[in-house]
Amino acid sequence: AAGVIQSPRHLIKEKRETATLKCYPIPRHDTVYWYQQGPGQDPQFLISFYEKMQSDKGSIPDRFSAQQFSDYHSELNMSSLELGDSALYFCASSFETDYNEQFFGPGTRLTVL
Amino acid sequence: AQSVAQPEDQVNVAEGNPLTVKCTYSVSGNPYLFWYVQYPNRGLQFLLKYITGDNLVKGSYGFEAEFNKSQTSFHLKKPSALVSDSALYFCAVSNYGQNFVFGPGTRLSVLP
């Protein structure tokens, strides 16, 4: 079965650079969630989109922005990167009426040097 | 605001023995409860969920969880642990699909 796809899988950036992470949900899923998981931490919810509109917002820094496109894929844009942004970024997707059971992608590991 | 607690950072169990990973939650309204597992360098994988119905929920890989409303708990259990069950386990709660919150995780080590 198709799963959530995230690209790139690994990304190395320097401080103050920008990064764009991409997420392709499971076909027919209309909701996308972004999570940040720091080393040894539990996943922290950043932001979610339903039908291309922001549906919920968590602890997403102002330096980050995200959007969902007409094909339901989503991009997380991160600017002025800081060392503390180094983390595993997960995307999850769900079908809105399916009690929001979320299926997670493999994650993008971002390292900021 | 909802919250999830997993009181044990680490659980050690011998292979073949039953295992329990504890989770308690706080949420207004009816909770949607989930368990996810994370293997090293892998994404989170769904194990099971409770939305409504029977308090005992059966999920993937032989895991089950019992919803206890009076104790606001949703403990994960397995009758006979395998070494391959060793991983990080996250409990999560959602309030009608909004504000999906994870617990801090419990590291399960199954010893051969």
pLDDT at B98: 59
Task: Supply the mean pLDDT for chain B.
Answer: 89
- Taking an 8 Å cut-off on Cβ atoms, the answer to whether A102 and B43 are in contact is no
Domain ranges of chain A: 5-112
Q: Which residue of chain B is at minimal alpha-carbon distance from A10?
A: B41
B99 confidence band (pLDDT: 50, 70, 90): low
**Which of the listed CATH numbers 3.40.50.280, 3.30.70.80, 3.50.50.60, 2.60.40.10 matches domain B3-111?**
2.60.40.10
Note the pLDDT of residue B80: 97
CB-CB neighbors (< 8 A) of A56 in chain B: 98-100
Q: HEC string of chain A?
A: CCCCEEECCEEEECCCCCEEEEEECCCCCCEEEEEEECCCCCCEEEEEEECCEEEEECCCCCCEEEEECCCCCEEEEECCCCHHHCEEEEEEEECCCCCCCCEECCCEEEEEC
- Nearest residue, CB atoms, B99 vs list A4, A41, A56: A56
Q: Please list every residue in chain A whose beta carbon sits closer than 8 Å to the beta carbon of residue B43.
A: 4, 90, 104-107
Residues A27-41, mean pLDDT to the nearest whole number: 87
Interface contact A104-B49, CB threshold 8 A? no
Cβ contacts (< 8 Å) between B49 and chain A: which residues?
99, 101
Q: DSSP string covering B60-81, please? A: GGG-EEEEETTTTEEEEEESS-
| Domain regions of chain B by residue span | 3-111
Nearest to B60 by CA among B75, B43, B48, B78: B48
Chain B residues inside the 8 Å CB shell of A5: none
Instruction: Give the span between the Cα atoms of A25 and A91, in whole angstroms.
Output: 8
Q: How far away is chain A from the Cα of B13, in angstroms, using its nearest Cα?
A: 21
| pLDDT of amino acid B82 | 96
Residue B101 or B11, more confident: B11
| CB-nearest partner of A42 from B42, B46, B105 | B105
Task: Out of B43, B97, B102, name the one closest to residue A105 (CB).
Answer: B43
Instruction: Indicate the CATH number for domain A5-112.
Output: 2.60.40.10
Predicted confidence band at A73 (pLDDT cuts at 50, 70, 90)? very high
